[in-house]
Amino acid sequence: MVVGSRDKVRAAAVKLFADKGFHGTGIRDLAQAANLSSASLYHYMGTKEELLAEIMRESLERLLEAAALATDGVADPRLRLGNLVALHVITHASQPSETRVVDNEVHALSPAAKKTIVGLRDSYELLWAEAIDAGIVAGVFHTGQPVVTRLALLEMCSGVARWYSPRGTLTLDQLAAHYAELVMRALGCLDVGEQPDLKHCRTLVSKVWNVRIYPTPSPTTTLNGDASRP
């Protein structure tokens, strides 16, 4: 697929910001990675910080949109949360750079941009909070600290972006299913009910990110024995 320079700048920025951090990435690094001069970058972006803010906002909006679709019409709190977990894990495993930028570079934003980004993040986390609270009310989840538990589970699921490698033996579906089980167990959910709709979640991630997602670890199956860490 031939991509325009604008997309190349975006892609290079995502990768570099994720790997070296916003302040660790220079304009010239960005230009080199995008095969442009540093001057040409400014035809496709505002300031470096505006580029970061746009990347973060787009990523969060995609996640938020996918999450809304993944829970749309789902009544059972267990399935709502299960789908949220599956979507979150698949997103973080298949788009680790984007999600790591969102999770780790908030500190580099100006106060105004930070307000927008944190607001979007809070909107997303509200979906989790509502599902957990509904499950408690329905008597299927059991925890004395719903807020703390939600933060703990979110951190657990986001962590996938920091260690998952598609070269391991686990498929995305296996990974998502395993995390859904961990979450259900942590919430003291004995009868887990319906399983998360992994196929639907995979499709949603494919659509909002406009990428191919394979249920298997990678197009050419590897024989690597274990999950790896960077």
Least distance to DNA from the beta carbon of 210, Å?
20
Check binding of 48 to DNA (CB under 7 A). Answer: yes
Give the interface segment with DNA, choosing from 25-33, 62-70, 86-94, 120-128 (CB under 7 A): 25-33
Q: Which is nearer to a copy of itself, 25 or 59 (CB)?
A: 25
For the stretch 192-199, contacts whose Cβ atoms lie closer than 8 Å and that sit 24 or more positions apart, written own/partner, are 192/78, 192/82, 193/76, 193/78, 193/79, 193/140, 194/76, 194/78, 194/79, 194/82, 195/82, 196/79, 196/82, 196/83, 196/85, 196/86, 197/70, 197/79, 197/83, 197/86, 198/86, 198/90, 198/173
Binding test (CB under 7 A) with DNA, winner from 36, 120, 170, 175:
36
Stretch that binds DNA, among 29-37, 97-105, 128-136, 211-219 (CB under 7 A): 29-37
CB of 190 to a copy of itself, least distance (A): 11
Q: Which stretch binds a copy of itself (CB under 8 A): 47-55, 56-64, 147-155, 212-220?
A: 147-155
- Contact stretch for DNA (CB under 7 A) within 27-35, 69-77, 134-142, 184-192: 27-35
Task: Decide: is 26 part of the binding site for DNA (CB under 7 A).
Answer: yes
Site for a copy of itself in 84-113 (CB under 8 A): 104, 107-108
Question: In the complex, which residues of this chain contact a copy of itself (CB under 8 A)?
Answer: 19-24, 104, 107-108, 144-145, 147-149, 151-160, 162-163, 170, 175, 178-179, 182, 185-188, 226-227, 229
